[in-house]
Structure 1
Amino acid sequence: MATRLDRKLVAETALRLLNDVGLEGLTLRRIAKELDVQAPALYWHFKNKQELLDEMATALLRRMTEPAAEAGDGHGGGDWRAMLTESCRQTRHTLLGYRDGGKVFGGTRLGDQSLLRPMESLLAAMGDAGFTPERAARAWFTTYAYTIGYVIEEQSVFPVPGDPRRDPAYDQEERMRSVGADYPLTAAAGAEMFGNIADGFDDGLRAVIAGIEATLLHGR
């Protein structure tokens, strides 16, 4: 019996292909070939590639929110710093599992509103801590933008998930040879920025959240 073609199946197939072809190589024609159907069949479900990306991002968000759902995420009452930190870490962890995951997820539109519950709980916890709704929203969007941007940069260094090899453009020794003599501080900064990237993410996230607490919660 042939598998019934629907939006979910197409999106899951596209996510599976990402690690092989990357975002640039991910076309509706390539997905149709993987599904053993003609490309026009996909246009019954997606008018264009952006609609497909929206569905793929929704599938990724579903993966991100599963831990909170399994933990019985409630409506507020938690430590907003811990909740915000965990949300950003889970987002990064999920996106790093897919080639170009940051680019796929950024700038897309959600297709399942039920996935907004963890965000609702986080904003409620921030409200309980004293944030105004406007400042809580600003805080969330700031950490979200930091996380997506960081992942995009991280995936430019290590483009293939699970592969420890760097893109040659980020070879540290070559960078030191090419710019170190004239720009020693910049060369040293590059070694820090593109060295231990995982620790760099956590350090930066702590700085962002500390800044949010100082300026959006306690600042005027």
Structure 2
Amino acid sequence: MSTDRRTPLDRKRVADTALALLNEVGLDGLSLRAIARELDVKAPALYWHFKDKQALLDEMATEMYRRMVEGAPPPADATWQERLLTSCHGLRAALLSYRDGAKVYSGSRFTGTLHGVEMEATLRLFTGSGFTLAQSVRATSTAYLYTLGFVAEEQGVRPLPGERRPGFDVGERARLLADFPLTAAAGADLFQDYDRLFEEGLAMVVAGVEARYRPGAAAGES
């Protein structure tokens, strides 16, 4: 329980506390009542700042994003490929910092306009590199969704780095699926070495963007 009773209760303090508690209890165990207990206040005090749990999750996702861009800003002179890779690497690292980080982030709505700064810069870089605006949006959103989905699956096996949920032993899986040899052997690529798997998949996304849109091609091609 927090002993800092004199610090004013505001949205950021609640979100910070919720993110810290998230690593202990996970999303299913995170409740406004538990957060209030951690802050040493009554639960109704939180409703002054957040009307419900989703509103709190929105603020948590916003704080996660704020920390992410402060910690690893993309290089100013990056190519579109470098910016896409940097953004996806930063997002994955940020989500992996929290138990159920991908679940919290997915579907949440940012509570401010900070994301507009990075999004505008990204879209300007892409359109300046020969993409149409629509192509820029599809390329960046596809990479974003790949990263979010990958981490969601990764955290289903490894809630936090160094942890592994029961039931994802590759050897045991292979034994149970012995009648399906290719499926059994696939476990080694599905549930191990997530860093390598992420990099390979992200490289395929970037290569697909290049092959599909050929930046600089005539407008109207897709």
Structure 1 residue runs of 5 or longer lacking an equivalent are none
Q: In structure 1, what is the Cα distance between the partners aligned to 2:191 and 2:35?
A: 33
* Kept after mapping to 2: 8 A contact 1:143/1:208: yes
Q: In structure 2, what is the Cα distance between the partners aligned to 1:128 and 1:165?
A: 43
**Aligned counterpart in structure 2 of residue 21 of structure 1, from 10, 20, 25:** 25
- Which moved further from structure 2: 210-219 or 47-56? 210-219
**Which string of whole-angstrom CA distances, capped at 9 and with x for unpartnered residues, describes residues 133-191 of structure 1?**
001001111011000000010001111x23x2421111111101101x21111121221
Q: Greater helix percent: which structure? A: 1
Q: Which residue of 1 aligns with 2:138?
A: 138
Q: Per the alignment, in what secondary structure is the counterpart of residue 170 of structure 1?
A: coil
Structure 2 residue runs of 5 or longer lacking an equivalent are 216-220
Following TM superposition, by how much is the alpha carbon of 1:116 offset from its aligned partner in structure 2, in angstroms?
A: 2.3
Per the normalisation by structure 2, the TM-score is 0.91
Q: Per the alignment, in what secondary structure is the counterpart of residue 168 of structure 1?
A: coil
Q: In structure 2, what is the Cα distance between the partners aligned to 1:114 and 1:51?
A: 17
**Aligned counterpart in structure 2 of residue 212 of structure 1, from 206, 209, 212:** 209
Cα RMSD (Å): 1.5
Query: How is 1:39-188 mapped onto 2 (pairs within 5 angstroms)?
Result: 39-69=43-73, 74=76, 78-159=78-159, 161-162=160-161, 164-179=162-177, 181-188=178-185
* Kept after mapping to 2: 8 A contact 1:11/1:52: yes
Q: In structure 2, what is the Cα distance between the partners aligned to 1:114 and 1:104?
A: 18
68 and 177 in structure 1: CA distance in 2 versus 1, 3 angstrom threshold: closer
- Which moved further from structure 2: 29-38 or 191-200? 191-200
Q: In structure 2, what is the Cα distance between the partners aligned to 1:30 and 1:40?
A: 12
% of aligned pairs identical? Answer: 51
Per the normalisation by structure 1, the TM-score is 0.92
Q: Per the alignment, in what secondary structure is the counterpart of residue 44 of structure 1?
A: coil
58 and 208 in structure 1: CA distance in 2 versus 1, 3 angstrom threshold: same
Q: Which residue of 2 aligns with 1:32?
A: 36
Following TM superposition, by how much is the alpha carbon of 1:68 offset from its aligned partner in structure 2, in angstroms?
A: 5.0
Q: In structure 1, what is the Cα distance between the partners aligned to 2:141 and 2:117?
A: 16
Q: Per the alignment, in what secondary structure is the counterpart of residue 99 of structure 1?
A: coil
* Kept after mapping to 2: 8 A contact 1:65/1:115: no
Detail structure 1 runs of 4+ shifted over 4 Å in the superposition. none
